[in-house]
């Protein structure tokens, strides 16, 4: 009995490990990648009136952070196993495939599979995940070849692949939970697809709304620059908690523009009655957090971007208040919440401290910014966000 208990605890430790790593991403990596982003934007700012594609810039930021933390791969060093543009393509293709309607969804039997085969749906889906599998395998092989796994323990500063490989090598044959290479790839899939896209989307929408609302932008920058002081060489994670208004801006962005408008499906465990409708057990339920965030019964002026609505409110986004659920709630809430929010806070704080932002030539007013959405599982600004950075002295 004692051995079984130990085995169970070991299995639970492995499961908790993924959540712990997603919550406790090393701050120095975020800070380094954000500083690199600021450097690149500063170089563009030296060319007067030259717009920067913030959509691409912010995607590169989140992809760089995830790849360093999870995969031990650095975009900014030679020898990276895959081109950065290809990372963006893989994420987009995978999310599109995951959200694609298939005939098998409606007709689970042979008829559905036949039509999917006829239209090549499964072929396209399999192709993108074969490419991702090859990418993960390349990363794992690189760790095994260089000996990155096994040198450092679970409390070290190794990347997640190295830590998982180390755990796999040290597990016993009688352990309750047996970690395999396929398990490691599954963990990487969760981190990679969920981590790269969503953080970038949130920052893109936040900057879009700030440019469309100059009063909010000015208030945020005034607070940030007054609090942190002039001529600050770099922004650190310690600075995040000093600027309260930025946190209100991020909450309001989560409300108006949740990266995943439909949470992952849930299944009812027992019979429930909702608004007079009988919902039987094992029914798949979709939660539309986009609609909840714009519900006029819950929010005053729901279509307006007003961060101040959260100033004297206890409503938070961590799953305790059901009117704001960008990360879900309960045991199935997003395990990467802390990691994603920290990256968003640090990225936006740096963009607002170091730069003023202007509209590109040909755009008369903030109302000209295209707000059309695109996507299926995640919803991003359809047109890239192009803004002109001006270095603030």
Task: Give the Cα separation of 143 and 63 in Å (integer).
Answer: 19
**Known binder of ligand: residue 103?**
no
Under DSSP, the state recorded for 68 is: I
Say how many C-beta atoms besides its own lie within 10 A of residue 162's C-beta. 23
Cite the DSSP H helix spans in 24-120: 27-45, 54-66, 84-98, 103-106, 110-118
326, 289 in Cβ contact below 8 A?
A: yes
**Rounded distance between C-alpha atoms, residue 170 and residue 246, angstroms:** 44
Enter the DSSP assignment of 357.
Answer: E
Q: How far is CA 41 from CA 23, 74, 357, in A?
A: 28, 19, 11
By CB atoms closer than 10 A (0-12, 13-18, 19+), residue 354 is: buried
Mention every residue, 6+ apart, whose C-beta is less than 8 A from residue 45. Answer: 52, 355, 389, 390, 391
DSSP class per residue in 180-242: -HHHHHHHHHHHHHHHHHHHHHHHHHHHHHHHH-HHHHHHHHHHHHHHH-TT-----GGGGGG
For residue 24, give the nearest of 198, 163, 206 by alpha carbon: 163
Among the listed residues 286, 276, 315, the one whose alpha carbon sits nearest the alpha carbon of residue 298: 315
Cα 304 to the center of its chain, rounded Å: 24
* Tokens linked to 43: 């170089």
The number of beta carbons lying within 10 Å of the beta carbon of residue 132 is 20
Q: Which among 315, 325, 350, 336 is positioned nearest to 243, based on CA atoms? A: 350
DSSP class of residue 333 equals S
Distance of CA 235 to the CA centre of its chain: 21
- Which residues make up each annotated binding site for heme? 334
- Which residues make up each annotated binding site? 334
């Amino acid at each position: 009995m004692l051995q079984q208990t130990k085995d169970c605890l070991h299995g639970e430790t492995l499961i908790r490990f993924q959540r712990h790593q997603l919550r406790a991403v090393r701050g120095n990596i975020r800070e380094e990648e954000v500083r690199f982003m600021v450097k690149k934007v500063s170089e563009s700012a030296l060319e007067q009136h030259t717009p920067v594609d913030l959509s691409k810039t912010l995607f590169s930021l989140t992809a760089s952070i995830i790849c360093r933390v999870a995969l031990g791969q650095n975009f900014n060093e030679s020898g990276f196993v895959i081109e950065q543009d290809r990372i963006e393509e893989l994420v987009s293709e995978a999310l599109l495939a995951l959200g694609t309607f298939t005939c098998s969804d409606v007709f689970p039997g042979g008829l559905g599979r036949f039509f999917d085969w006829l239209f090549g749906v499964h072929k396209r889906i399999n192709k993108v995940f074969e490419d991702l599998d090859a990418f993960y395998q390349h990363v794992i092989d690189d760790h095994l070849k260089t000996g990155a796994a096994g040198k450092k323990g679970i409390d070290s500063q190794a990347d997640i692949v190295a830590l998982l490989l180390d755990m796999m090598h040290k597990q016993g044959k009688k352990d309750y939970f047996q970690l395999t290479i396929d398990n490691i790839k599954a963990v990487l899939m969760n981190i990679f697809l969920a981590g790269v896209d969503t953080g970038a989307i949130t920052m893109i929408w936040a900057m879009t709304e700030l440019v469309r609302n100059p009063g909010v932008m000015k208030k945020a920058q005034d607070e940030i620059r007054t609090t942190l002081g002039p001529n600050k060489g770099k922004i650190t994670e310690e600075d995040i908690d000093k600027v309260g208004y930025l946190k209100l801006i991020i909450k309001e962005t989560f409300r108006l523009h949740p990266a995943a408008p439909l949470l992952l499906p849930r299944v009812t465990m027992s019979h429930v009655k909702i608004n007079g409708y009988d919902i039987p057990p094992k029914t798949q339920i979709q939660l539309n957090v986009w609609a909840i965030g714009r519900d006029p019964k819950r929010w005053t002026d729901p279509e307006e971007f007003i961060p101040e609505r959260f100033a004297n409110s206890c409503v938070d986004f961590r799953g305790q208040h059901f009117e704001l659920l960008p990360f879900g709630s309960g045991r199935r809430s997003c395990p990467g919440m802390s990691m994603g929010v920290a990256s968003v806070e640090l990225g936006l704080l740096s963009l607002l401290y170091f730069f003023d932002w202007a509209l590109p030539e040909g755009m008369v007013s903030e109302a000209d910014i295209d707000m059309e959405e695109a996507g299926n599982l995640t919803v991003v600004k359809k047109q890239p966000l192009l803004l002109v950075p001006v270095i603030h002295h």
